[in-house]
Amino acid sequence: MEIKVLIVDDHKIMREGLRFLLKDKPNITVVGEAENGREAQGMVAKLKPDIVIMDIAMPDLNGMEATKMILNENPDTRIIALSSHSGKEFVTGMFKSGASGYLLKDCAFDELYDAIKAVNAKHTYLSREISDVLVREYVTSIHTAIQESPEELSIREKEVLQLIAEGNSTKQIADLLFISVKTVESHRKKIMQKLNMFTVSELTKHAIRMGLTSLEN
């Protein structure tokens, strides 16, 4: 089955080089070239390519914004970023914009050919270097989420939180847990500090989310 490809790059020598390399590949036809995102947007609407090979840093309209616009108007088109930039802001930016693949310009041509076939088959294609960037970004986001998450409550604090959420007074909680009123107040203060919540309503909702109780005041 023929795969129609549009090449988008602001360097003529890059466009001509890719066209030359692709012309002898079976089932691939280069239907056009564009030198910026704005021009690419119009050509995609007119030529209906299956695959767009998209540079990122271009004048007038960059590859990220062009990708968003093209996919909004042509959702069946698939876009492969081909860039000299490996920074996470470029990689994540292109994928957030809807790209299906990302390769660096110093990749082997056979890898680009493999990417075209894979993306045309509705798969995602990442070069090894780009995979490393995304994995590092994912790991960093997990560590950040852990650091920003509320401090874990102790078993006793969870007990106190449940009883607060169920509408018990400080004296009632003290009697139920066989501890002093002062100790209950200390637990309550620590719970609020750990969760950064300072009203019974907030604590109740959090207790429900944690599965400690299904009751609301």
- Most confident region among 32-36, 108-112, 151-155, 190-194 by mean pLDDT: 32-36
Q: Which domains does the chain have, with CATH numbers?
A: 3-144 (3.40.50.2300), 155-209 (1.10.10.10)
Q: Report the pLDDT value the prediction gives residue 148, as an integer from 0 to 100.
A: 47
List C-alpha distances in Å: 102 to 39, 56, 198.
21, 11, 47
Cα–Cα dist 40/28, whole Å:
19
Q: Report the pLDDT value the prediction gives residue 214, as an integer from 0 to 100.
A: 62
217, 206 Cβ separation under 8 angstroms: no
Q: What is the pLDDT of residues 181-205, one digit of tens each?
A: 999 999 999 999 988 888 988 898 8
Mean per-residue pLDDT, 3-8: 98
Q: Which residues contact 76 (CB under 8 A, 6 or more apart)?
A: none
55-75: burial string, b at 16+ Cβ within 10 Å, e else: bbebeeebbbbbbbbbbeebe
The residue behind tokens 């203060």 is 189
Q: With bands split at pLDDT 50, 70 and 90, how would you rate the model's confidence at 175?
A: very high
Q: What is the pLDDT of residues 89-108, one digit of tens each?
A: 888 889 999 999 999 998 88
DSSP, collapsed to helix, strand or coil, labels residue 33 as strand
